[in-house]
């Protein structure tokens, strides 16, 4: 296919817009290209201008946008504020589709603030990646224990050098932020360092310099939030916890969410004394109830002390420098560090949102429609700043969808059904689809298959490690609605099953699949008898009971 190329220099803007709109209606399958006049004074923009001549470039606007907006020229087709997972994905893809794109990001720092960030965003610099590296590091102590059962011995007690880990981790982060910059550069995206602020629906101010854009994307992410209590200034958040200069000897973690559990595992594995304070009776609110119980038990067995139904009230620093945490139930003393993993908040302050009329909810999250558009038609938002499902791959999906919507004439809604996720606690959790409670609510009658077993490795290591697996199946349709696992390799195991669940496969399909022996994962395709059947309507019970017996096969 030979792209038709219109260049802005040859056509006046009104003609161009009309032409494009008409063409997009009549010739939906043709790839066109047009270029918008860019600021000739800036050399890095000129670079794009040249590229555009030979690359397909296509920008569509929705009808309302076209009608409402005065015809004008912009520096960019897309200006992205925030170069994290969602922002980089949207920018790159938009550029690949031919748009002229700029992205601004705060200067690099391992600790985020109003003035620091870094290309790569939370995932790469203060989230998924460093967290997983720390998990790898901390898991070794468990592996050393396991290996004893397999005949390995160590002359002296294994020691961990915190400095080596942090130095190697930071070197890796520097490498990754460099890679992300290269990715943007190779895609032809202009990277501007500084704090972006929206001035009007088509203008962004970056540290005093103004840039105009047809579309603005807000992808500024979120930051840890520490509630104000007396002494909360002594607490650290996850940013700081990933970059401590020395090993914490005794650490309190406040919170029962996935971040709290992941750090509890990390510090415990690296030989700190770990106390976790949670408000609820159980960890991981919102997760499958059985998984919540199971992971709490397994983590306790590895030496983590859980303080349930305790809310923090005050932190006091003693003369010796150690910290004490007072809760509604009492005071625990002697902490070297107190970490709060009490949620994250969208970074929507001082973005100029109020002045242009971008609506946020009470948590400060930007409200978007199903195409990721804010209340201002030219302004869009993806990722944690919208506070929906705050996961890197979801931000990537949103970024990819937005680029398609804006620059490939293919309006695309992100699909939030059956998004799998993992908690890198030790042992880890993987899950996709619905919990029991959600499944009952949405589908009524369900069959639940569970398996709780001691994996082969644990029989040799002698450690009390177990694996828990669960399938939730719709009694009417036989579809697998939910799949949950806690145990070694959960995150890796669940990915493939997520493809199956997303594709709407049934329990019969699972059963038809032959196992890979000997693995843990094969348990998911060899669950023959339901652990329990949950029935809403008494009249359906008898009938379905027979069907279930027939499929169970034993």
- The binding site comprises 132, 196, 255-262, 343, 384
User: Could you tell me the two tokens for 367?
Assistant: 């409200």
Kind of pairing, strands 379-381 and 446-453?
Answer: unpaired
Whole-Å CA distances, 276 to 263, 271, 338, 372:
10, 15, 10, 37
Stretch that binds other proteins, among 30-38, 40-48, 125-133, 304-312 (CB under 8 A): 125-133
Residue 520 makes CB contacts below 8 A (sequence gap 6+) with 455, 467, 469, 487, 488, 489, 493
28 lies in the binding site for other proteins (CB under 8 A): no
Q: Which is nearer to other proteins, 351 or 395 (CB)?
A: 395
Which x/- pattern, by CB under 8 A, does the window 339-378 give for other proteins? ----------------------------------------
Task: Determine the interface stretch with other proteins among 231-239, 333-341, 359-367, 418-426 (rule: CB under 8 A).
Answer: 418-426
Among 57, 248, 520, 535, binds other proteins (CB under 8 A): 520
Q: Which helix (H) or strand (E) segment is 403 a member of? A: helix 392-407
- Piece in contact with other proteins (CB under 8 A), picked from 54-62, 189-197, 304-312, 514-522: 514-522
**Contact criterion met (CB below 8 Å) for 322 and 229:** no
Residues constituting the chain: 554
CB of 274 to other proteins, least distance (A): 18
Rounded to whole angstroms, how far apart are CA atoms 94 and 87? 10
CA dist., res. 26 & res. 215, Å (int) = 24
Active-site residue, from 160, 275, 307, 517: 517
- φ/ψ region of 452 (left if φ > 0, alpha if ψ in -120 to 50, else beta) reads beta
Pick from 413, 512, 532, 541: which binds other proteins (CB under 8 A)?
512
Three-class SS state of 19: helix
- Give the span between the Cα atoms of 59 and 398, in whole angstroms: 18
Shortest CB 544 distance to other proteins, Å: 16
DSSP-derived 3-state class of residue 202:
coil
Would you count residue 107 as binding other proteins (CB under 8 A)? no
* Binding residue ranges for FAD: 132, 196, 384
Min dist. Cβ of residue 67 to other proteins (A): 33
Q: Indicate the DSSP class of residue 3.
A: P
187: three-class secondary structure by DSSP: coil
Tell me the number of residues near other proteins by CB under 8 A.
80
Q: Which of 455, 491, 458 is nearest to 142 (CA)?
A: 458
Applying CB under 8 A, the span of 53-61, 123-131, 219-227, 376-384 interacting with other proteins comes to 123-131
CA atoms of 353 and 362, how far apart (whole Å): 14
Nearer to other proteins, 311 or 549 (CB): 549
Distance CA 165, CA 96 (A): 37
Residues 19, 39, 109, 149: which binds other proteins (CB under 8 A)?
Answer: 149
Question: Cβ 549 to other proteins, closest distance in Å?
Answer: 8
Instruction: Give the contacts of 379 (CB within 8 A, at least 6 positions apart).
Output: 198, 201, 215, 216, 217, 218, 356, 358, 373
The answer to whether the beta carbons of residues 8 and 75 sit under 8 Å apart is: no
Q: Indicate the residue among 102 and 134 with the shorter CB distance to other proteins.
A: 134
Within residues 447-486, the interface with other proteins by CB under 8 A covers 456-457, 459-460
Shortest Å distance, C-beta 403 to other proteins: 13
User: Which of 126, 214 has the CB closer to other proteins?
Assistant: 126
Residue 360 or 520: which CB sits closer to other proteins?
520
Q: Give yes or no for residue 145 binding other proteins (CB under 8 A).
A: no
Contact between residue 104 and residue 192 where contact means Cβ atoms under 8 Å apart: yes
Query: Using the rule CB under 8 A, which residue among 229, 505, 534, 544 binds other proteins?
Result: 505
Question: Is residue 510 at the binding interface for other proteins, with CB under 8 A as the rule?
Answer: yes
171-190: which residues touch other proteins (CB under 8 A)? 172, 175
Tell me which of 78, 493, 527, 548 binds other proteins, using CB under 8 A: 493
- Residue 517 known to be catalytic: yes
Three-class secondary structure of residue 339 per DSSP: strand
What minimum distance in Å lies between the beta carbon of 416 and other proteins? 9
Residue with tokens 């999906």: 397
Q: Is 128 in the site for other proteins (CB under 8 A)?
A: yes
Please name the residue that has the structure tokens 């493809």: 499
Does the protein bind other proteins through residue 249 (CB under 8 A)? no
Considering the complex, state which of residue 18 and residue 519 has its C-beta at the smaller distance from other proteins. 519
Minimum Å gap between C-beta 167 and other proteins is 9
The 384-403 site mask, x for binding other proteins (CB under 8 A), equals -------xxxx-xx------
- Partners of 236 in the beta sheet? 339
In angstroms, the CA 421 to CA 125 distance is 20
Beta bridge pairs of residue 469: 451, 485
219-238 binders of other proteins (CB under 8 A): none
Instruction: Choose which of 146, 237, 387, 445 interacts with other proteins (CB under 8 A).
Output: 146
| CB distance 432 to 494 below 8 Å | yes
| Nearest to 268, CA basis, from 145, 110, 129 | 145
Q: Which is nearer to other proteins, 205 or 509 (CB)?
A: 509
Measured distance CA(456)–CA(454) in Å, rounded: 7
Our CB check for other proteins shows the closer of 271 and 317 to be 271
Token duo for residue 98 = 């031919």
Query: Residue 315 or residue 500: which is nearer to other proteins going by CB?
Result: 500
- Supply the angle between the helices 289-301 and 258-269 in degrees, to the nearest 10: 20
Q: How far is the CB of 209 from other proteins (least distance, A)?
A: 34
Which of positions 424-443 make contact with other proteins (CB under 8 A)?
430
Q: Among residues 153, 208, 319, 330, which is the contact residue for other proteins, using CB under 8 A?
A: 153
- Shortest distance, position 31 Cβ to other proteins, whole Å: 17
Site for other proteins contains 158 (CB under 8 A): yes
Q: Which residues are catalytic?
A: 517
């Amino acid at each position: 296919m030979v792209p038709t190329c219109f260049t802005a220099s040859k056509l006046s803007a009104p003609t161009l817009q009309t032409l494009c709109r008409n063409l997009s209606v009549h010739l939906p399958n043709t790839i066109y290209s047009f270029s918008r006049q860019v600021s000739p004074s800036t050399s890095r923009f000129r670079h794009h201008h040249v590229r555009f001549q030979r690359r397909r470039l296509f920008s569509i606007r929705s009808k309302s946008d076209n009608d409402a907006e005065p015809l004008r020229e912009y520096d960019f087709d897309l200006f992205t504020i925030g170069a994290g997972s969602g922002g980089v994905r949207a920018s790159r893809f938009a550029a690949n589709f031919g748009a002229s794109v700029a992205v601004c990001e705060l200067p690099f720092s391992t600790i985020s603030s109003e003035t620091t960030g870094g290309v790569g965003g939370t995932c790469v610099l203060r989230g998924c990646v460093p967290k997983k590296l720390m998990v790898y590091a901390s898991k070794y102590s468990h592996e050393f224990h396991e290996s004893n059962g397999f005949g390995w011995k160590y002359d002296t007690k294994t020691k961990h050098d915190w400095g080596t880990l942090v130095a190697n981790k930071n070197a890796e982060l520097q490498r990754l932020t460099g890679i992300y910059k290269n990715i943007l550069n190779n895609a032809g995206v202009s990277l501007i360092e500084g704090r972006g602020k929206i001035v009007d629906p088509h203008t962004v101010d970056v540290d005093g310099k103004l840039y105009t854009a047809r579309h603005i994307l807000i992808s500024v992410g979120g930051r840890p939030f520490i509630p104000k209590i007396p002494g909360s200034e002594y607490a650290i958040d996850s940013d700081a916890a990933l970059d401590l200069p020395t090993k914490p000897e005794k650490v309190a973690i406040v919170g029962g969410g996935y971040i709290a559990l992941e750090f509890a595992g990390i510090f415990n594995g690296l030989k700190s004394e770990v106390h976790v304070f949670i408000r609820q009776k159980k960890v991981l609110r919102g997760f499958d109830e059985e998984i919540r119980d199971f992971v709490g038990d397994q983590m306790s067995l590895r030496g983590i002390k859980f303080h349930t139904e305790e809310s923090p009230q005050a932190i006091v620093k003693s003369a010796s420098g150690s910290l004490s945490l007072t809760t509604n139930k009492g005071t625990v003393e002697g902490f070297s560090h107190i970490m709060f993993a009490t949620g994250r908040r969208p970074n929507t302050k001082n973005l100029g949102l109020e002045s242009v009329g971008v609506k946020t909810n009470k948590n400060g999250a930007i409200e978007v429609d199903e195409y990721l558009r804010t209340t201002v038609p030219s302004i869009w938002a993806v990722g944690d700043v919208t506070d929906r499902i705050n996961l890197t791959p979801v931000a990537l999906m949103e970024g990819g969808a937005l680029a398609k919507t804006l620059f490939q004439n293919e309006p695309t809604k992100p699909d939030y059904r059956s998004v799998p996720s993992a908690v890198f606690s030790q042992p880890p959790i993987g899950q996709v689809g619905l919990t029991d409670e959600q499944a009952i609510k949405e589908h009524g009658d369900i069959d639940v298959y569970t398996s709780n077993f001691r994996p082969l490795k644990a029989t040799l290591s002698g450690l009390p490690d177990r694996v828990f697996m669960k399938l939730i199946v719709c009694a009417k349709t036989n579809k697998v609605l939910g799949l949950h696992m806690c145990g070694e390799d959960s995150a890796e195991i669940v990915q493939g099953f997520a493809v199956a669940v997303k594709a709407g496969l049934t329990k019969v399909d699972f059963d038809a699949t032959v196992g890979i022996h000997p693995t843990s994962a094969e348990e998911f395709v060899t669950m023959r008898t339901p652990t329990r059947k949950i029935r809403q309507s008494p009249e359906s019970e008898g009938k379905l009971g027979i069907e279930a017996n027939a499929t169970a096969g034993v």
